[in-house]
Amino acid sequence: MSGPSQLNTVDGLVQLSFLVHGTLERRAAERGLSIVQARLLGVLRDREPTMNELAKLLGLDKSSVTGLVQRAERRGLVARIASRSDKRAVHVSLTGRGRALAVAAAARFEADISAILSCLAQPDQEALCALVSRVLVAQATARQIHLLPATTTSG
Amino acid sequence: MSGPSQLNTVDGLVQLSFLVHGTLERRAAERGLSIVQARLLGVLRDREPTMNELAKLLGLDKSSVTGLVQRAERRGLVARIASRSDKRAVHVSLTGRGRALAVAAAARFEADISAILSCLAQPDQEALCALVSRVLVAQATARQIHLLPATTTSG
DNA sequence: TATTGTTATACTCTATAACTATA
DNA sequence: TATAGTTATAGAGTATAACAATA
C-alpha cells in the first residue's frame, strides 16, 4: 500500500481490478448480497430467461443456478414463472423488491467508481476511457477470431 | 460484447476489471488453484507470516485462514512452522512445490496481461500505466486520510 | 486478562451424477 | 432419446462463537 508512486502496468491493472471488484463486493454486501447474487439481479434487469439460459448467461451449471435462484426467491428478490410453451421450463423474473435493490446497488456502485476516478481531470478521464476501450475492443475482437473455425475454408 | 466501440468510463473499468479477474481465475484453475489459494501462495512468496498476520494480509477471519492453510498444507503447498519466540504462534511458509507453482502461475498470468495490453503501442501503454497509477495512488492516499481523525481541527 | 490458534457450526457457492417430467 | 429442471451429495470458502494453550 505504501509502494512506489508508479507501478508496472501489470501490477497496476491487477490492483485496479481488485479495487473495482472489492468496491462492487462491498456495495453488494451492504444490501446483504454476494457478488453472484448481485450479478443475478443485474442480468435479470432486462430479461426473463429460463433456468438454462440463466446458467449460460452466468457461466454456471444448471444445478448451481437452482440453488442461486432458490436463495434469491426465498428472500423475495426473484420469482419463478412456469413457461406456457414448454411445461418443463421455468422463467426467472425480478420482483419489485429485487428490481429496487438492483437499481439502488448499481447507482451506489457507479457513484463509487466515479469518485475513484475523480482524482483525474476530465481530459485525463477521457484519455483513460479511450485507452481502456481500445483494450476491451481488441480483446473482444481477438476472442471472436479465436472462436472462428480454424478448419473451415475447405469445408 | 458487440457493444459500442467506446464505453463510458465506469463500464469500461468494470469490464476491464472482470477481464483481469477472469484471466487470473483461469490461470489459477489450470493448476487446480482457486483465486484465494493463489493469493495465499502469492502473499507467501516473500514472507513467513503467522496465522494472525496472514489473516490481516488477506482480509479474512483467522478461522477462515485455518481452513485455507489446512487445505494448502494437505496438498503440500505450504507448511506450518511453530514459532520459537511465542509458543502460541505458528508461521506459514511455502514449500518448494508451493513456490514453484506460485512462480509458474504468476509468470503465465503476467504474460496474459501483457498480451492483453499488446494492442497498444508502447507510448500508449505507458500513458495507461501512468493514469492507472495516479488513480491507485490517490485511492491509497484517500484511504489513509479516511483513517485519520475526522474531528480534530475544529470539529 | 489478553492473545493465538483451532474447533464446532452454519451458510453460500459450486460441480457431478442421478433423477423426474416433458418434448 | 433428448432436454429442462431438481435433488443428493461433496467440497471450498467464509464468518461467529466457544474453546485451549500461552502470554
Neighbours of B10 (CB within 10 A): 18
- What mean pLDDT comes out for the span B19-31? 91
Q: What percent of chain B has pLDDT over 70?
A: 88
* Strand D and A21 CB separated by under 7 Å: no
What is the pLDDT, as a whole number, of residue B142? 83
Across the interface, whether the CB atoms of A120 and B134 are under 8 A apart is answered yes
Nucleotide minimizing C1' to CA distance for residue B64: D14
- The residue behind cell 476511457 is A129
Distance B153 CA to C3 C1' (A): 35
What is the pLDDT, as a whole number, of residue A6? 59
DSSP structural state of residue A37: H
Task: Please name which of A62, A75, A65 lies closest in space to residue A33, comparing C-alpha atoms.
Answer: A75
CB-CB contact of B107 with B21 (8 Å): no
β-strand partners of B78: B94
What is the pLDDT, as a whole number, of residue B153? 32
pTM metric for this prediction: 0.86
What is the pLDDT, as a whole number, of residue B147? 52
Segment A60-107, tens digit of pLDDT: 999 999 999 999 999 999 999 999 999 999 999 999 999 999 999 999
Task: Please name which of B118, B6, B3 lies closest in space to residue A132, comparing C-alpha atoms.
Answer: B6
What is the pLDDT, as a whole number, of residue B10? 82
DSSP assignment of A48-105 equals: --BHHHHHHHHT--HHHHHHHHHHHHHTTSEEEEE-SS-TT-EEEEE-HHHHHHHHHH
Separation of alpha carbons B101 and A126, rounded Å: 39
When pLDDT is cut at 50, 70 and 90, the band that residue A148 belongs to is: low
* Strand C and A50 CB separated by under 7 Å: no
**pLDDT above 50: residue B151:** no
Separation of alpha carbons B54 and B91, rounded Å: 9
- What mean pLDDT comes out for the span B131-151? 75
Segment B35-84, tens digit of pLDDT: 999 999 999 999 999 999 999 999 999 999 999 999 999 999 999 999 99
Mean pLDDT, all residues of chain A: 89
Strand C: list positions under 7 Å from protein Cβ: 3-8, 12-18, 21-23
Mapped onto helix, strand or coil, the DSSP state of residue B150 is coil
When pLDDT is cut at 50, 70 and 90, the band that residue B6 belongs to is: low
**pLDDT above 60: residue A13:** yes
